[in-house]
Structures are given as structure tokens and as C-alpha cells.
Amino acid sequence: MTHAVTPFPDGFLWGASTAAHQIEGNNTNSDWWRKEIAGAVKEPSLDACDSYHRWREDMDLLAGLGFTDYRFSIEWARIEPAPGHFSRAELAHYRRMVEGAVERGLRPMVTLHHFTVPQWFEDRGGWTANGAVELFERYVRATAPVIAEDVRHVCTINEPNMISVIAGLAKSGEHGFPPAGLPTPDEDTTKAVIAAHHAARAAVKEINPGIQVGWSVANQVYQALPGAEDVTAAYRHGREDVFIEAARGDDWIGVQSYTRTRIGTDGPIPAPADAERTLTQWEYYPAAVGHALRHTAEIVGDVPLVVTENGIAAADDARRVDYYTGALHEVARAIEDGLDVRGYLAWSALDNYEWGSYEPTFGLIAVDPETFERTPKPSAHWLGGIGRSRELPRAAG
């Protein structure tokens, strides 16, 4: 027997997230496009979900399903295809997306940087080149026509800790991630993206002081095995905590989690061989988001929390519903325990390009790769229905 509770307060953000490069298609001026065409990844993004042209359909579906919020990113490589040259047409395109969201009753959360940069920015040395922070700030100021009105939440940089980790991997000359845990982050990149975030936050506030500004951190949910507490704290600091600490002056912080990482006295330990795994080969662990929220709150202090990404890559949509059920109970318990959680946005709205492959299907909505037809999965209807009712089914007792 079940009964329903209503843990999510009025005004709670309830939605799904996407990233421009992963859904738009043909983002030909970006650094990632160049990697893809050079064969550096398993498969190229090419048309992706064609959301550059089909964003209205995407928003219609999300609004019709019951979601109230949509997090999407705008693409720096489109807006500034050459240094100092800003495309009025692309700015107008993203402005139409903001207006389209509002028209459909969706509150837009706009991410200014979601992993990709213009090729010219990469060519001059990326984040650690002289003047990189100022160039990002200039781009942020140029987005004023997009975000100045109707946008309540702006995310400056998505998962800056992953940017730093990937930079460290590239600098080391190694290929691929270790079996467990993350590579060593690049210290110079860490400093640069933190400085870029602070500069962007100030720039957004000048555009409109009412915009709530934050950034999102990839939470790995580091769990110390007995005797490994100090090892875990040291391992976690440069990969996660320093980025959470950098958000202490923000209006909110994005919490993004999918699984856990156990740490022993010698470092990260792979999940047991018999553990259930998702299509990304991560351990199936719905409780991750609860741990991530509590750890983030412990580090950041009284900054409000928003779950800006959470979900699994699964072929069996019933497992996706089960995962979301467990995750949402964790969010509800965090709220009940007094954490200031302001929203939950699933990853992802669509089955999309997962940075080298289309195989991991995170989406609430399936996308036909030939026709681009969108088909909401049962999980989309289920999760959207909770958005309408604000009621979360829970086992009695």
C-alpha cells in the first residue's frame, strides 16, 4: 500500500536539462566538433537531435508533460564564431528560445558554458592562456540580449571540476579515465575557471541584478572506507570541494550526481563485480543525490541548492523510474531535514549525444536518429505528473 506526500514547496523548480552541443547539431565552430571530425571520439555529433531547429517541439513536450522549468545552454561558439565578432542572428535565436519557454509556462535556466568553447579560444591556449578570463567575461556581457529579461536563473559554467580534470588528463598525456575515480585536475585550469565564474557572476549582475547566478559541480559522492577518511578528504578537495567553496558568494549552487565513488587507503576502488551498472558502466546508486546535497551544503554553507542534473543511462525505462523514485525520496528527505533545496532538474530531457557516443540513453524523451521524431517515455509522463501534483508516492510506514 502506498500514500503520497508533498515534499516540494511552491515555486520549486521542476524540470529537465540539456546542453546545446549535445542536442542542437552541427555546432561546427566548437572545439568538440573539431575533435569529433578528427576521429578523436567514438562517433561525431553531426545533426545530434536537431534541436537547433526543433526547440519549440522540445519545449511543447516538456510543458505538456507537466514540467515547469527547462535548463538549456547557449553556445559560445555560435555567438562569437571569431574573436570579438558577435552574431546578432545567434543572439536573436537564443532570445527566441527564452521567449518561447516563457510562452509555454517554462521558466528558463540558461547555462552560459557547457563544456564547449570556440575553436579560436582553444587555439589561443584555452582557459589557461593570458586573457582567457577576460574573454569569457566579454562573451558573458554579450549575452545580455538573451538573458536580461525573463531569465531568473543563470548557470555560468557547467561542471568546472570536470573541465579541470579533463585538462589534467590532456596535460598528462594519458588517455581515458581510470577504472574508478577521476584523473588529477590541472591546478592552473582550476584557478582560471574559478576566476572566470566570479567574473561572469559580476557581469550577469550588471546585466540584471535580479538574476540568480550560480554554477553546477559534478559530485562524485566520495565514500570513505574504514580508515580512509583522510585519504578521501584529500582526494576530494581538488576534484570537488574547491569548486563548491568558490560558490559561497553565489545565489545558488547546482548539484549534479549520478553514482558514488568509494575510497580506500590506496585511493578509489571500483564497484563490486556483481553491482548493477548503467549504460555508462556506473554503479546504479539512486541514493547518490542525497549524499551530494548533504555534502555540498556542509561545504558551501547557506547557499541554496538546486539539483541541476540527476538520472541514469538505461535501456529499460522501468529502471529509470525506479532510479528517479529513489533519488527523489533522497531529495525529499534532505528538504525534511532542513536543507534549502530549491529545485530538481533531470538529466536529460532528450536521448542525446553523450560526448562521444549516442549509446548512453539518459533521456526522458526518445529521439529517432533518422526522422528526429520525439517520443516521451513512461518515465517522462511519470516524472512530469509529479511536477503537476507535487506529490511523491511513498511506501506506507
Q: Count the neighbouring beta carbons within 10 Å of the beta carbon of residue 43.
A: 12
Domain that holds residue 310: 2-395
Surface-to-core class of residue 234, CB atoms within 10 Å of its CB (0-12 exposed, 13-18 middle, 19+ buried): exposed
Per-residue pLDDT tens for 292-348?
999 999 999 999 999 999 999 999 999 999 999 999 999 999 999 999 999 999 999
* pLDDT at residue 118, rounded to an integer: 98
309 forms beta bridges with 256
Of the listed ranges 93-97, 198-202, 384-388, the least confidently predicted one is 384-388
Judged on CB neighbours under 10 Å (0-12, 13-18, 19+), 322 is middle
At residue 98, does pLDDT exceed 80?
yes
pLDDT band at 3 (very low <50, low <70, confident <90, very high): low
Cell digits for 55?
Answer: 526547440
Mean pLDDT of 342-358: 98
Inform me whether the pLDDT recorded for 397 exceeds 60. no
| Predicted confidence (pLDDT) per residue in 199-252, tens digit | 999 999 999 999 999 999 999 999 999 999 999 999 999 999 999 999 999 999
Distances (CA, A) of 128 to 123, 139, 208, 263: 12, 17, 28, 30
Q: Which residues contact 69 (CB under 8 A, 6 or more apart)?
A: 13, 14, 15, 106, 107, 108, 109, 343, 345
Per-residue pLDDT tens for 137-193?
Answer: 999 999 999 999 999 999 999 999 999 999 999 998 877 899 899 999 999 999 999
pLDDT in tens, 28-80: 999 999 999 999 999 999 999 999 999 999 999 999 999 999 999 999 999 99
Rounded average pLDDT over 276-285: 98
Q: Tell me how many domains the chain contains.
A: 1
Can you give the pLDDT at residue 113?
99
Read out DSSP for 279-304?
TTS-B--TTHHHHHHHHHHHHH-S--
Percent of the chain exceeding pLDDT 90 equals 93
The domain spanning residue 370 has which CATH number? Answer: 3.20.20.80
One-character DSSP codes across 330-352: HHHHHHHTT--EEEEEEE-SB--
Q: How far apart are CA 86 and CA 82, in angstroms?
A: 8
Q: Which long-range contacts (CB under 8 A, 24 or more apart) does 166-169 make?
A: 167/126, 167/127, 167/128
For residue 2, what pLDDT band results from cuts at 50, 70 and 90?
low
Give start and end residues of each alpha helix (H) in the chain.
Answer: 20-23, 31-37, 51-65, 76-79, 88-103, 119-123, 132-142, 144-147, 160-172, 187-207, 229-236, 242-245, 288-300, 317-336, 378-389
At residue 18, does pLDDT exceed 50? yes
Say if pTM beats, i.e. exceeds, 0.85.
yes
Residues 309, 341, 354: CA angle, nearest 5 degrees: 0
* Mean pLDDT value across the chain: 96
The rounded distance, in Å, linking the Cα atoms of 95 and 117 is 20
Start-to-end C-alpha separation, the chain: 9
More confident residue, 14 or 390: 14
For residue 244, give Cα distances in angstroms to 141, 199, 239, 241.
24, 16, 10, 5
| Assigned C-alpha cell, 370 | 533518422
Name the residue with higher pLDDT: 4 or 237: 237
Whether 41 and 357 have beta carbons less than 8 Å apart is answered as: yes
